[in-house]
Structure 1
Amino acid sequence: MRLFSAITILGSILVTPALADTTGGVVVAYDRVDHVLVLDDRTVWDLAPAGDLVPEELSAGDKVSIDYDSAGDNGVGVITAISIDAN
């Protein structure tokens, strides 16, 4: 029984899923050339890897939501969605 418990615990440690998370805020600045987004909480997002997920009409003053997969201690893994929220 102890062996089964040890194997179960070890297996759950080795198979750590990416955790989905969401953040949002008001866009303070968006640089379309460098693909950099700054929110009102002073977070800076590199949107280059997000590619086609960035809405074309995104501009300063928009309230946005960013869905991403967390990479644990390494921060953001992959941005999965960016949307402009209705005011």
Structure 2
Amino acid sequence: MSNAPVYRHRPYSSCFSTSAFADQTSGTIIAYDRLANVIVFKDKSVWTLDAKTMVPSDLQAGDTVTLTFNSDGDNGAKPATELHRD
């Protein structure tokens, strides 16, 4: 028999949050569909923008931008919530 304490729950488990952490990606735009809120980068990656994401009115192909988004595990990435022109 062991004298080690027996925990009926995980200690400190309530201290950890399960919220997503923001990630960022940067790239040069080769296509931007303002109506569909979709950006395609030079590396052929396709990014959806959240409907509330502020986008400069003069954004166009050739611009380099940084997108902020949240990962959604095995489901990929959620729509980008921030866009900053580099």
Instruction: Give the gaps of 5 or more residues in structure 1.
Output: none
Report runs of 4+ in structure 1 exceeding 2 Å deviation. 14-17, 49-52, 77-80
Q: TM-score, normalised by structure 1?
A: 0.74
**Structure 1 or 2: larger helix share?**
1
Taking a change above 3 Å as real, the CA distance of residues 17 and 52 of structure 1, as seen in their structure-2 partners, is closer
Query: CA separation in 1, counterparts of 2:79 and 2:11?
Result: 29
Paired residue for 2:59? Answer: 58
Paired residue for 2:83? Answer: 82
2:47–2:80 contact (8 Å) kept in structure 1: no
The match for 2:11 among 8, 11, 21 is 8
Query: CA separation in 2, counterparts of 1:78 and 1:18?
Result: 13
Aligned length: 81
Q: TM-score, normalised by structure 2?
A: 0.74
Query: CA separation in 2, counterparts of 1:34 and 1:70?
Result: 21
Larger radius of gyration: 2
- Equivalent pairs: percent with the same residue? 40
Give the CA RMSD over aligned residues: 2.4
**Structure 1 or 2: larger strand share?**
1
Instruction: Give the gaps of 5 or more residues in structure 2.
Output: none
